[in-house]
Structure 1
Amino acid sequence: MRRGTFREGTVDYAAVGATHAPDLMQYPPERSIPAEESWRIGSGEERFRTAGDALLSWTAQRAAGLSLEDLRPASGPSYAGVSFDAEGAPIAPSKNEVEQRFDASGTPFAGPGMTLKLRGRVDGMSADAELRVISVTEEPRCIGFVLGTMGGSVVSGEESFQIDWHEDSDEVWFTVRAFDAPVAFVYRTIPALVRRRRKTLFARYLRAISPLYATPV
């Protein structure tokens, strides 16, 4: 079945949280193109913590050649993002408050409800977008966050970034999942460009989080 029509805030797509759905690749939101990649990036707690901090401090986006602008916290102090059930369906707002942290330059880590603007280019095309942090996860063996488009982008949709430290193998894995609905005319005309854009972004994210240790699945 396809994702529901829940909307959160001012995002410009209906299927909020669909990147959490286990069947995303088989049943993506209507008119969107799904993508998913996982890479083993090392093992052990130190690797997990280091990669998690790099992820939450926007290393993947910055190293992908994108600049962050106008980062703003959630509009209300009680906002804590969105929770999802096992099928990726949004449920009541999360009650897991995340303490705000900052990197060495004073830039805030990803926080639930935060809005921001990205500027840059991918494969010669604009990658500018207004985004909202839909949710943030900081658990003993899982760290990640979800970004949703609010407008001003060549595509509409969602990206999830997640670092997992597997208890059974001690391995650390980095997973990115996304769905993109073409907005720009050229992407609507040539859908293959959406896939190429996503492939380029995935490769940049991987180099950012694990320049030495990554092993593709």
Structure 2
Amino acid sequence: MKLEDLRHRRFSYDVVGSTRYDETPPGYHRLDHRVRIGSGDDVFRRAGEALMTWRMHTKAGVRIKATDTPAVIGANSLGRVGVGSLGLAVICRVVWVVDEPDRIGFAYGTLEGHPEAGEESFVVTREPDGIYFTVRAYSRAGTWYASLGGPVTRAVQTRFAQRYAKALQRLANH
């Protein structure tokens, strides 16, 4: 699969943009992972830059290519998770972006062929007591093997949220 092959793929779920809101769409599993990653303007700036340029994904172990850097609405991404050519393809499209003085991030949604169906957002916020990173996801199985994986699939998603947070913390505090 090539990055340019993604432009004609459709979303594999019907609640596009759902991670902007606090309600879990019916039939989806929800993941929320929020971590304080540091404090100060420099940490906020570096975290936002690492997030929007896909460096967080790379540092967390996802081999990723994207049509646009920084992330913009409509950008397609092709990630690979796993060992070498046996890695699992993770194909997504950016559905919303936020760039405000105290909040920066984006969400991407799964495209046809992704093992899961749903959306994941990554947002860095500046709050009175520090800089926080939040991953929010709504998902359900998109393939037979993800369905077969059940709770294991959700545990892997949680583990990646933790990896993203640790990677962003390292990138923001160097």
Specify if TM > 0.5: yes
Structure 1 residue aligned with 2:15 = 15
Structure 2 residue aligned with 1:183 = 142
1:116 aligns with 2:112: no
CA distance in 2, matches of 1:212, 1:54: 7
Structure 1 residue aligned with 2:156 = 197
- Shift of residue 63, structure 1, vs aligned partner: 1.7
User: Which consecutive unaligned segments of at least 5 residues does structure 2 have?
Assistant: 1-8
Other structure's SS at 1:129 match: strand
Residue identity in the other structure for 2:104: I
Structure 1 residue aligned with 2:132 = 173
1:142 aligns with 2:103: yes
User: Which consecutive unaligned segments of at least 5 residues does structure 1 have?
Assistant: 1-8, 74-107
Structure 1 residue aligned with 2:42 = 46
1:132 aligns with 2:96: no
CA distance in 1, matches of 2:172, 2:90: 30
Task: Please give the per-residue CA displacement for 1:146-190, whole angstroms capped at 9, x wherever unaligned.
Answer: 111112211111000000001xx2511000000111123233134
CA distance in 1, matches of 2:156, 2:70: 25
Residue identity in the other structure for 2:89: D
Q: How many residues align?
A: 163
Residue identity in the other structure for 2:21: A
Residue identity in the other structure for 1:19: T
RMSD: 2.3
In the superposition, the TM-score normalised over structure 1's length comes to 0.68
CA contact (8 A) 1:129 1:151 kept: no
Structure 1 residue aligned with 2:125 = 164
Identity %: 31
In the superposition, the TM-score normalised over structure 2's length comes to 0.84
Structure 1 residue aligned with 2:166 = 207
Higher strand fraction (1 or 2)? 2
Other structure's SS at 1:47 match: helix
CA distance in 2, matches of 1:72, 1:207: 25
Taking the TM superposition and a 5 Å limit, the aligned residue runs for 1:7-86 are: 10-23=10-23, 28-69=24-65, 71-73=66-68
Higher helix fraction (1 or 2)? 2
CA contact (8 A) 1:19 1:158 kept: yes
Other structure's SS at 2:26 match: coil
CA contact (8 A) 1:126 1:154 kept: no
CA distance in 2, matches of 1:39, 1:49: 16
Other structure's SS at 2:10 match: coil
CA contact (8 A) 1:117 1:129 kept: yes
CA distance in 2, matches of 1:30, 1:188: 17
Other structure's SS at 1:29 match: coil
Taking the TM superposition and a 5 Å limit, the aligned residue runs for 1:98-113 are: 108-113=69-74
CA contact (8 A) 1:135 1:145 kept: yes
